[in-house]
Chain A
Amino acid sequence: MIELITQQPFVSAIIALVILGVPFGALLGFAAVKFKTEGDPIADQVEALLPQTQCGQCSYPGCRPYAEAIANGEAINKCPPGGETTIHALADLLDVEAVPLDEEHGEENIKTVAFVREDECIGCTKCIQACPVDAILGAAKQMHTIIASECTGCDLCVEPCPVDCIDMLPIETTVQTWSWDLPKPAEVIATDKNSGDEVAA
């Protein structure tokens, strides 16, 4: 044995490596089968960051397909409802450069909610079929209305309406939803007037 090693060091090294390699390879193979990851974890993580408006402005039929596309290397800047925040979050997650929103897919607008002008509605159910989250209530030849709390503001119901009776209304700030803004960055020159209306300190 020792003779063989000394006389044929190269061959014996290869044999030793093969002997080591076989069980470890088998172990890895077994682990790959045993601990197989179900689904696509990256797509799941990406999906969790998307706003779930299901608006299709990214040109994919919903947030999940876009998440899967991103996981496969699609650009991260095609989601107008998510806007800058989502792009930054995705850039952080995927460790890529944050790029500005792709204007082609729409601009980042203020949040809206759909509103049916009910006296003009003819009850055609076209908007009901278009709504990705079933947020429109109504039946054939009956007036339709939007369940505002479920509406994602995706805009998809506006196009199919034959009588144009759906408006996208901006969500108004009320006393309950109002919040403080971040203070403006510090003025360097003391004589510059600071925007005053803050709490007396």
Chain B
Amino acid sequence: MRKVWDIHGGVHPPENKEQSNQLAITSAGIPDQLVFPLSQHIGTPAAPIVAVGQKVLKGEIIAEAKGFVSVPVHASTSGEVIAIEQRNIAHPSGMAAPCIVIQADGKDEWIEHSGIEDYTAVDKAELLNRIRQAGIAGMGGAGFPSAVKLGTRDDQVIETLIFNGTECEPYITADDMLMRERAEEIIAGAKILKHLVKPTKETIIGVEDNKPEGIAALEKAAQGSGIEIVSFPTKYPSGGEKQLIQILTGKEVPSGGLPAQVGIVCQNLGTTVAIYRAIQFGEPLISRITTVTGEACEQNRNYEVLLGSPISHLLELSGYQQKKASRLIMGGPMMGFTLHSETVPVVKTTNCIMAPSAKEIPPPTPAQACIRCGMCAEACPVSLLPQQMYWFARGKEYEKLEAHNLMDCIECGACSYACPSNIPLVQYYRASKADIRQQKQDAIKAEQSKVRFEARQERIERQEAEKEAKRKARKAAAEARAAGNAEAGKVDAVQAAVERAKAKKAATDPAQVAAETAADPAPNGDAAKDAIARALAKREAASSMTDEERLLNAVKALGKRLDKTREKLATAQAEGSDTVEILTETLAKLEIKLVDAKQAYDDHQQKN
């Protein structure tokens, strides 16, 4: 007998499995209409590749995988696509999502398909591609694309391959019946996966000890295959992937990590059979085993049901009495959710439809105050502190929740089950987890916006600076041009001087000079000449003037200059030119000078 480990906590709810495991699996037949949600798995929803009115065959791809973490959707029977629209799907929100609707033609005509005769001769990538193209996603509940899960990196050594036949949730018997009736297929699938994953140590099928018939069937089928069937005590939730790994190997998957990190790959039994059929016969995932149970159904049993069948079809087969039912649940009583409509279709992850009576599963009793009894902490299979997290969740203290490892919660509901005050603890964690995820996404978005905003700011500044630089360059160019003109003026003056010298030399021939001057008029030179002449005249006049006259002249001249400057300032101000400041300064200086000059004149007159 192999050693098995125990997990912390756990609860023992009534199993209620005998109602549905008495009758053999039977086919649910073909409903009139089938609805295929585009998102039946975790990851990007598939994209439709059929058009309304198109005829499709059984097993034909109607929506293809988008991206890496995605799987295609196949038609589960032959018929005609009658709509691609929003339909109610099995989701706790009761919301609608894009679906492809097919009207069955009843012929159930298969598309051409073929399996691989010897899978050992085919390489891993091809096998994984087959699994992906067959639309296989984890059928235990989460719906994670199997090809992604099995596509372990080459540098990761997988020691143990585990098949999960636990089915710890009460009422559900889909995997139990699968083991009893199709043990050979399970083992055949297990062999394929063993070949694919190549576990270095062992391959185990873990089954709870409340399924002795299933264990017996598996043991018989597994003889000589090297696959070990391990049974362990029944306890909820031993079927959680991380819990099962701990029970069978004693290893704990690190927080936030994947089983592959500790050298383990885990697969559901239904998925294993689907992989077997996909490889051996080339059949995509188009049907699954679903338990229909609950007191509101006359006949509780398992059906092999085509994906896309509305659950009303299954309920009808089971003799469902609406009057008796308190509600409809998809999944089990612990982790399932209430359905808002009977029209929702069966999808890849639908392991159970429950129609319980009010007596069987009464509406939740009102929650009472937490008495801090600690039973939730005892029940938690992940060794968290549910009671503490309950208070933090109510106070929306997300940082503290994360510090208490809320993200490791598997949402099994053991805490809610154990709570004597009927507090729906797991609901608080679900809501808080969603809020935390949302906050993180918002933070990422905010960061992104900030980066974009700053980039834009920078760009605007750069453009502004470029404009400024261009403006300055233009200004500089203009100034250079002006300076160039002045330079030209100087050159003219020099030329004029040369001219004058020539004139002096050629004084003997005044007519020629006059002709030259007329032919080559040098206005600058003339002006300079005039100015010099005027200045000389003034100096002569001044030297002949008395002191009194000189002073008076100075006052008059200053007065004139002052007037001129005032005029210039007025025009400069009117034009808003940048010479205003200089002119104002000059004006002030002139005024001072004028006052001084007047003072000097007055003093002079007083002396005389």
Contact = CB atoms under 8 A, between A and B. Distances in A.
Contact of A175 (B39, B367, B427, B432): B39
Interface string B434-472: 110110001001111110110111000000000000000
B427 A150 contact: no
A174 to B, nearest CB: 7
B97 A180 contact: no
Contacts of B527: none
B428 A183 contact: yes
Given A198-B364, A198-B424, A175 B356 contact: no
A178 B91 contact: yes
Contacts of A173: 93, 95
B453 A52 contact: yes
A190 B338 contact: no
A152 B445 CA distance: 8
A153 to B, nearest CB: 10
Interface string A176-192: 10111111001101101
A123 interface: no
Interface string B306-327: 0000000000000000000001
A186 B366 contact: yes
Given A54-B449, A178-B91, A194-B367, A200 B431 contact: no
B336 interface: yes
Nearest to B360: A200
Question: Which of A51, A190, A198 has most chain B Cβ within 10 Å?
Answer: A198
Given A174-B97, A198-B364, A199-B413, A179 B435 contact: yes
Contact of A132 (B93, B426, B456): B456
Nearest to A53: B449
A199 B431 contact: no
Which of under 10, 10 to 19, 20 to 34, or 35 or more describes the interface residues of B? 35 or more
Contact of B424 (A52, A192, A201): A201
Contacts of A98: none
B449 A194 contact: no
Contacts of B571: none
A126 to B, nearest CB: 16
A52 B497 CA distance: 73
A201 B364 contact: yes
B95 A175 contact: yes
Given A52-B446, A200-B336, A201-B422, A134 B431 contact: no
B216 interface: no
A196 B364 contact: yes
A22 B93 CA distance: 71
A182 B393 CA distance: 8
B426 A199 contact: yes
A42 interface: no
Given A178-B93, A201-B422, A152 B338 contact: no
B315 to A, nearest CB: 17
Contacts of A194: 363-367
B89 A54 contact: no
A114 interface: no
B55 interface: no
B93 A175 contact: yes
A192 B366 contact: yes
Nearest to B37: A175
A63 interface: yes
Contacts of B442: 51
A186 B450 contact: no
Contact of B416 (A62, A133, A186, A201): A201
Interface in B63-115: 89, 91-93, 95, 97
Contacts of B369: 186
A172 to B, nearest CB: 10
Contact of A198 (B354, B427, B446): B427
Question: Which of B93, B95, B423, B450 has most chain A Cβ within 10 Å?
Answer: B450
A94 interface: no
Contacts of A201: 333-334, 364, 413, 416-417, 422, 424
Given A134-B456, A175-B95, A198-B427, 10 more contacts: A51-B446, A53-B449, A63-B453, A152-B449, A179-B431, A194-B366, A196-B363, A200-B327, A201-B417, A201-B422
Interface of A: 47, 50-54, 62-63, 132-135, 150, 152, 173-176, 178-183, 186-187, 189-190, 192, 194, 196-201
20 contacts: A132-B456, A134-B452, A173-B95, A175-B89, A178-B91, A178-B92, A179-B438, A180-B427, A180-B434, A181-B431, A186-B366, A192-B366, A194-B366, A198-B424, A199-B416, A199-B424, A199-B426, A200-B327, A200-B334, A201-B364
7 A-B pairs closest in CB distance: A179-B434, A52-B446, A186-B367, A133-B452, A52-B449, A178-B93, A180-B430
